Amino acid sequence: MLDLAAIIEARQRIAALVHRTPLLSSTSLGDLLGGIRLHLKAELFQRTGSFKPRGVANKLLSLSDEEKRRGFIAISRGNHAQALAYAATRIGQRATIVMAADAVPAKVQATRAYGGEVVLTDEDIWPLCQRLMRERGLTLVHPFDDDVVMAGQGTIGLELLEDLDDFDTVVVPIGGGGLIAGIATAVKAVRPTVRVIGVEAEASDAMRRALAAGHSVTMEGRRTVADGINAPYAGERCLLIVERLVDDVITVSEDEILAGLRLLVERSKLAAEPAAATPIAALLAGKLKTRPHERVVAVISGGNLDLGLLGRLG
């Protein structure tokens, strides 16, 4: 099971490939959200525009030289694709990313710009991925359900513990659950009284369903404007940690996400993506209860957004 030691080790390992992102504070946003003392962990400033390279870099650098030499593969149409392409290129290796043929052209282009080979397909993606793994000897880099990936994401928790003398609550977007599993492991090991709260889209609530069922449940074809957290299932490894360490998982509607995004952009001046605004959405909707002066950290997980979407908020 993932532990603090693995996260501390990850930090040393990935330091040359990722940024230590700033922790910002927004007085006006905190005032509007009930007089809390709000800090924003600005992972949208991370390389490739999301937190994902932390976990990916930890995974790639943990593999053997032979595995590195053969190369890596992932299925992703979003931030994980760019993170893998970036990290592989940085260590001089090749990444193959399989995407459905209807992937957003800008995402395909961004992944290629980071040096990734994008394979677009109309076929079922998973069998194709398995075939490529077999034929080319590639190592699969899962976006969340892997302790080594989670350890990389957990380095965000270490940075929070260093940057703030103390805080009461950390609020984290949930897709497959890798980000919150890593952060919760780091934070609870050092300050067990800090509340760790997850937020997912009501329209794509894989973690809530997994918690209710006691195991991961796969959902097909669900869509949310928060594409960064639109995972088809919660990670089994992630679920084990969320069950044990996360205090609550809250869901927010599509309208709540957009209202949170608008407030976040207008007040914090961060060009965040919808997934990254879910913690603010939960606070704004009154679904996450806080007391005045509570010290709250919202993890702003990424900034890879369609500018047209922001325009429709205006």
Catalytic annotation, residues = 52, 301
- Nearest distance in Å: CB 12, a copy of itself: 21
Q: Write down the least CB distance from residue 22 to a copy of itself, Å.
A: 6
DSSP structural state of residue 214:
T
* CA geometry: angle 211, 140, 88, nearest 5 deg: 120
CB-wise, 32 or 125, nearer to a copy of itself?
32
In the complex with a copy of itself, the residue whose CB is nearer, 25 or 121, is: 25
Q: Residue 297's beta-bridge partner residues?
A: 39, 170
Strands 95-100 and 117-121: parallel
Nearest distance in Å: CB 307, a copy of itself: 3
Closest approach, Cβ 289 to a copy of itself, in A, equals 25
Answer for which of 27, 109, 130, 218 binds a copy of itself (CB under 8 A) is: 27
Q: How far apart are CA 80 and CA 86, in angstroms?
A: 10
Q: Is 307 in the site for a copy of itself (CB under 8 A)?
A: yes
Residue 303 in 3-state DSSP?
A: coil
303 interacts with a copy of itself by CB under 8 A: yes
Provide the β-strand partners of residue 139.
72
Which of 94-102, 202-210, 231-239, 269-277 is the region at the interface with a copy of itself (rule: CB under 8 A)?
269-277
d(CA 275, CA 272): 8
The closest alpha carbon to 211, from 224, 225, 200, belongs to 200
Site map (CB under 8 A) of a copy of itself, residues 49-88, x = contact: x---------------------------------------
In the complex, minimum distance from the CB of residue 110 to a copy of itself, in angstroms, rounded to a whole number: 10
Which residue's CB is nearer to a copy of itself, number 9 or number 306? 306
User: Segment 3-22, which members bind a copy of itself (CB under 8 A)?
Assistant: 22
* Contact call for residue 262 and a copy of itself (CB under 8 A): yes
The closest alpha carbon to 138, from 228, 231, 59, belongs to: 59
Buried b (16+ CB within 10 A) or exposed e, 210-230: bbeeeebbeeeeeebbbbbbb
Asked if 193 and 247 count as a contact pair (C-beta separation under 8 A), the reply is no
Give the one residue of 210, 272, 277, 283 binding a copy of itself; rule: CB under 8 A. Answer: 272
Number of C-beta neighbours around residue 94 at 10 A: 18
> Which residues contribute to the site for a copy of itself (CB under 8 A)?
22, 24, 27, 44-45, 47, 49, 262, 265-266, 268-272, 303, 306-314
